[in-house]
């Protein structure tokens, strides 16, 4: 649409223009619309700087409404005060100085570019507040007004004529990743302005959070529970709407990926009985924590804020019986190079380990050991409340567990075969080593390791700081002395606890010789982070090939609006026609005469000699030609009888 400057109509009045009756109603509406737009300073600024017209829909609506009416019936003004002089609804508006400070922070930054004269921005502000609330703790949000030309000109695109513009109008969204410190490294949001779409784009493309996938009742067991790490807690969310996971849930899935795996399930009323019988879920929304084989599911119903879920996740992110791994051995106090969970001053502590190949037998033993641990926790709570257990033997184990000198763990004997075989003093069979086909010898072993530190020995070792060879090789003697005892009794909780308590009682009171030995290192197990990368590559619904081409930065319409495209095409056409005319007017080449030798620049091929048909390559002798009247003379035998 072409806008007319008001200077062209200095003393023109609407009534006088109506009386002339020389213009159609549509033309008069256009003139009036241009007058009102250019007399408003905010709308004129947006149009002059960026070519933005925020009220095109008003113009089209008025034209359609009054195109068959007389122009005197038009309700003036076309642009109401409520749509032009809107209140300043913005919050957290950035200036250039605060902008440079904001992108230097560690959190990603999402910016909304808006205009005070845009009714579309005023309508989007409620959705913008929802986006900001859902991104709390994941990304910061801010706004930039179009009048700040130093910033908005930086965020605008440029045509071939170097004129800045906003392709999709206002509001427009740009984001700065966490590792971005340069003002020019922002990302432009390419999609529709929906809350869910914007939040998903920020969480996936800007922050890089993994997706939490949905599973059905048929695939939850084999695809999620069966394929997740044996040492991880399974966190299952039930949703009745099928919406995407909130950003703070996806952030928890990334931060706690070492300890837990996350999944979503769509709640259906016809499947409610299945979930009640298997997991104890009554309704949605809800979340379930599965903390190991045989453990009772922990269910929370209702919605959660970020702080509430963080508190719940911190309480249930570990299994009740944790796995002994390379990244958890020091934390659990089951490493001779480390210290007890009770502190560095503790001289004696214990670690109860059940080892075996992953399978039914190991799962059964893990459940028994977990129940034994729960029984000791019950004894601790009973002694704290005043109900002292009558058994003195069991109380020693309960006291060690209370003082953090006793830890219960399980070990993957197939992966940690060297570590397992060292403590059990066996070969790679039974509980340790890889399992073979048809191997019925798979079994689990229960044993306890007693760790002891010697202050005198550590003081002597501290003085040996000049051993250059030991320092270069990175080898050192194990700090804590170790003593191993295997359990041979029945798989009963009381018997196991009595055995543990007797070991602790003897280990704390008897004088045991101090000796050390080199323990095989724990093998770094797979961290199970492949699913994080795979879920990031999953595209959102609606991300088609067309949208990906549009997001690549190529826009064909930009070439059509370039004023240089017409002369360039005309020049190309003229050059093509000139080439065609030049080739068509070239003289044709004459063919060579019959007698003239052909002008062949290439070398002639040497004729191949005929091969002789005679034996050994000797030349053949041909007979003289036979006369026409010649007769064949018959030879007779010259010998007489």
| 82-96, 218-232, 391-405, 420-434: least confident range | 82-96
Task: State the average pLDDT over residues 76-99.
Answer: 79
Burial state string for 138-159 with b = 16 or more CB within 10 A and e = fewer than 16: bbbbbbbbbebeebbebbbbee
Confidence of residue 105 (pLDDT cuts 50, 70, 90): confident
Highest mean pLDDT: which of 128-137, 469-478, 532-541? Answer: 128-137
Whether residue 440 is predicted with pLDDT greater than 60 in this model: the reply is no
Q: What are phi and psi of 576, to 5 degrees?
A: -65, -45
| 326-383+391-456+477-509 under CATH 3.40.30.10, yes or no | yes
Q: Give the single-character DSSP code of 206.
A: I
Predicted confidence at residue 559, as pLDDT, reads 61
The SS3 of residue 273 is: helix
Q: Which pLDDT tens digit goes with each residue over 164-186? A: 889 899 999 999 999 888 888 99
Q: Which residues contact 458 (CB under 8 A, 6 or more apart)?
A: 479
pLDDT at 76: 87
Q: What value does the mean pLDDT take over residues 327-346?
A: 91
**593 pLDDT above the threshold of 60:** no
Tell me which of 149 and 563 has the higher pLDDT.
Answer: 149
Alpha-carbon span 30 to 24, nearest angstrom: 10
pLDDT of residue 533: 52
State the average pLDDT for the chain.
82
Asked if residue 518 has pLDDT above 90, the reply is no
Over residues 43-74, the pLDDT tens digits come to 999 999 999 999 999 999 998 888 888 778 88
Mean pLDDT of 207-214: 96
| Residue 159 banded pLDDT, cuts 50, 70, 90 | confident
Lowest mean pLDDT among 106-120, 337-351, 414-428, 515-529: 515-529
- Determine the 3-state secondary structure of 172 from DSSP: strand
Contacts of 195 (CB under 8 A, 6+ apart): 127, 130, 131, 134
CA 524 to CA 416: how far, in whole Å? 9
As a whole number, mean pLDDT of residues 310-325 equals: 94
Lowest-pLDDT choice from 122-131, 316-325, 511-520: 511-520
The sign of the dihedral angle between the CA atoms of 166, 167, 169, 172 is: negative
Confidence grade of residue 590 (pLDDT, cut at 50, 70, 90): low
Give the CATH superfamily of 96-206: Glutaredoxin (3.40.30.10)
Residue 308 pLDDT: 95
Domain 214-317: which CATH class?
alpha beta
Least confident of 48-52, 97-101, 462-466, 523-527: 462-466
pLDDT top residue among 384 and 194: 194
pLDDT of res. 264: 98
Is the pLDDT reported for residue 561 higher than 70?
Answer: no
For residues 75-101, b (16+ Cβ closer than 10 Å) or e, as one string?
eeebbeeeebebeeebeeebeeeebee
28, 226, 256, 639 from 219: Cα distances, Å:
66, 10, 23, 113
Q: Is the pLDDT of residue 290 over 50?
A: yes
Residue range 317-345: average pLDDT? Answer: 91
Which pLDDT does position 547 carry in this prediction? 45
Distance of alpha carbon 183 from alpha carbon 103, whole angstroms: 8
Residue-by-residue DSSP string for 106-148: SS-EEEEEE-TT-HHHHHHHHHHHHHHHHTTTT-EEEEEETT-
Report the distance separating Cα 324 and Cα 341, nearest Å: 14
CB burial class (10 A; 0-12, 13-18, 19+) of residue 118? buried
Residue 389: the pLDDT is: 47
Give the model's confidence band at 434: pLDDT under 50 very low, under 70 low, under 90 confident, else very high. Answer: confident
Structure tokens at 544: 């088609």
Q: Judge whether residue 297 has pLDDT over 90.
A: yes
pLDDT band at 439 (very low <50, low <70, confident <90, very high): low
Where would I find the H helices in 441-588?
455-463, 468-473, 493-509, 530-536, 545-551, 556-560, 565-584
User: pLDDT tens for residues 454-485?
Assistant: 766 665 655 554 454 454 444 454 578 999 99
Sequence-distant (6+) residues with CB within 8 A of 538 are 211, 213
| pLDDT reading at 235 higher than 90 | yes
What residues does CATH 3.40.30.10 cover in the chain?
A: 96-206, 214-317, 326-383+391-456+477-509
pLDDT band at 616 (very low <50, low <70, confident <90, very high): very low
Measured in degrees and rounded to the nearest 5, phi and psi for residue 291 equal -110, 35
pLDDT, residue 524, reads: 87
pLDDT given for residue 229 in this prediction = 86
CA dist 91 and 131 (Å) reads 14
Residue 229 in tokens: 């790490």
How confident is the model over 305-324, as a mean pLDDT? 94
184/209 Cα distance (integer angstroms):
23
pLDDT given for residue 437 in this prediction:
45
- Predicted structure pTM score: 0.75
pLDDT at 293: 86
Q: What band does 427 get if pLDDT is binned at 50, 70 and 90?
A: confident
Q: How far apart are CA 412 and CA 419, in angstroms?
A: 10
Please report, rounded to a whole number, the percentage of residues in the chain having pLDDT higher than 90.
53
The more confidently predicted of residues 111 and 428 is: 111
- The mean per-residue pLDDT over the stretch 520-530 comes to 72
What band does 640 get if pLDDT is binned at 50, 70 and 90?
A: very low
């Amino acid at each position: 649409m072409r806008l007319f400057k008001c200077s062209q109509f200095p003393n023109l009045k609407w009534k006088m223009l109506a009386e002339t009756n020389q213009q159609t109603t549509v033309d008069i509406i256009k003139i009036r619309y241009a007058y009102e737009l250019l007399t408003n300073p905010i709308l004129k600024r947006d149009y002059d700087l960026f070519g933005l017209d925020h009220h095109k829909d008003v113009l089209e609506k008025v034209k359609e409404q009054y195109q068959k009416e007389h122009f005197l019936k038009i309700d003036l003004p076309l642009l109401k005060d409520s749509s032009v002089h809107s209140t300043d609804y913005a919050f957290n508006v950035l200036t250039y100085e605060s902008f440079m400070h904001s992108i230097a922070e560690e959190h990603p930054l999402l910016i909304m570019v808006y205009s005070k004269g845009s009714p579309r921005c005023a309508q989007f502000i409620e959705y913008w507040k929802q986006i900001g609330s859902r991104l709390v703790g994941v990304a910061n949000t801010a706004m930039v007004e179009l009048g700040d030309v130093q910033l908005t000109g930086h965020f605008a695109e440029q045509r071939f004529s170097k004129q800045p513009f906003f392709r999709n109008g206002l509001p427009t969204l740009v984001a700065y990743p966490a590792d971005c410190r340069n003002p020019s490294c922002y990302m432009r949001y390419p999609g529709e302005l929906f809350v869910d779409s914007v939040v998903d784009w920020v969480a996936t493309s800007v922050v890089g959070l993994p997706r939490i996938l949905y599973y059905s009742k048929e695939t939850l067991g084999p695809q999620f529970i069966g394929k997740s790490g044996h040492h991880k807690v399974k966190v299952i969310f039930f949703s009745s709407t099928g919406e995407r996971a909130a950003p703070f849930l996806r952030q928890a899935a990334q931060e706690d990926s070492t300890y837990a795996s996350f999944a979503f399930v769509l709640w259906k009323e016809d499947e409610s009985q299945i979930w009640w019988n298997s997991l104890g879920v009554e309704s949605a929304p809800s979340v379930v924590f599965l903390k190991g084989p045989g453990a009772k599911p922990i269910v929370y119903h209702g919605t959660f804020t970020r702080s509430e879920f963080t508190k719940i996740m911190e309480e249930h992110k570990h299994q009740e019986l944790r796995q002994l791994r390379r990244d958890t051995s020091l934390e659990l106090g089951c490493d001779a190079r480390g210290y007890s969970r009770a502190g560095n001053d503790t001289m004696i502590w214990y670690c109860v380990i059940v080892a075996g190949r992953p399978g039914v037998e190991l799962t059964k033993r893990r459940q028994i050991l977990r129940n034994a641990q729960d029984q000791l926790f019950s004894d601790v709570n009973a002694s704290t409340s005043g109900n002292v257990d009558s058994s003195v033997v069991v109380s020693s184990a309960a006291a060690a567990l209370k003082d953090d000198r006793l830890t219960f763990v399980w070990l993957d004997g197939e992966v940690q075969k060297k570590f397992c075989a060292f403590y059990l003093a066996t070969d790679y069979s039974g509980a340790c080593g890889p399992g073979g086909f048809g191997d019925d010898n798979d079994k689990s072993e229960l044993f306890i390791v007693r760790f002891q530190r010697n202050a005198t020995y550590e003081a002597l070792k501290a003085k040996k700081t000049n051993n250059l060879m030991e320092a270069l090789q990175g080898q050192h003697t194990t700090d804590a002395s170790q003593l191993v005892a295997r359990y041979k009794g029945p798989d009963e909780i009381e018997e196991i606890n009595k055995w543990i308590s007797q070991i602790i009682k003897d280990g704390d009171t008897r004088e045991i010789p101090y000796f050390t030995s080199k323990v095989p290192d724990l093998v770094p197990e797979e961290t199970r982070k492949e699913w994080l990368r795979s879920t990031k590559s999953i595209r959102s619904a609606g991300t088609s090939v067309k949208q990906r081409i549009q997001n690549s930065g190529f826009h064909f319409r930009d070439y059509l609006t370039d004023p240089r495209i017409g002369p360039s095409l005309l020049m190309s056409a003229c050059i093509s026609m000139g080439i065609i005319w030049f080739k068509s007017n070239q003289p044709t080449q004459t063919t060579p005469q019959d007698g003239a030798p052909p002008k062949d620049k290439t070398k002639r091929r040497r004729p191949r000699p005929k091969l002789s048909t005679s034996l050994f390559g000797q030349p053949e002798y041909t007979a003289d030609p036979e006369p026409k009247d010649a007769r064949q003379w018959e030879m007779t035998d010259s010998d007489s009888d």
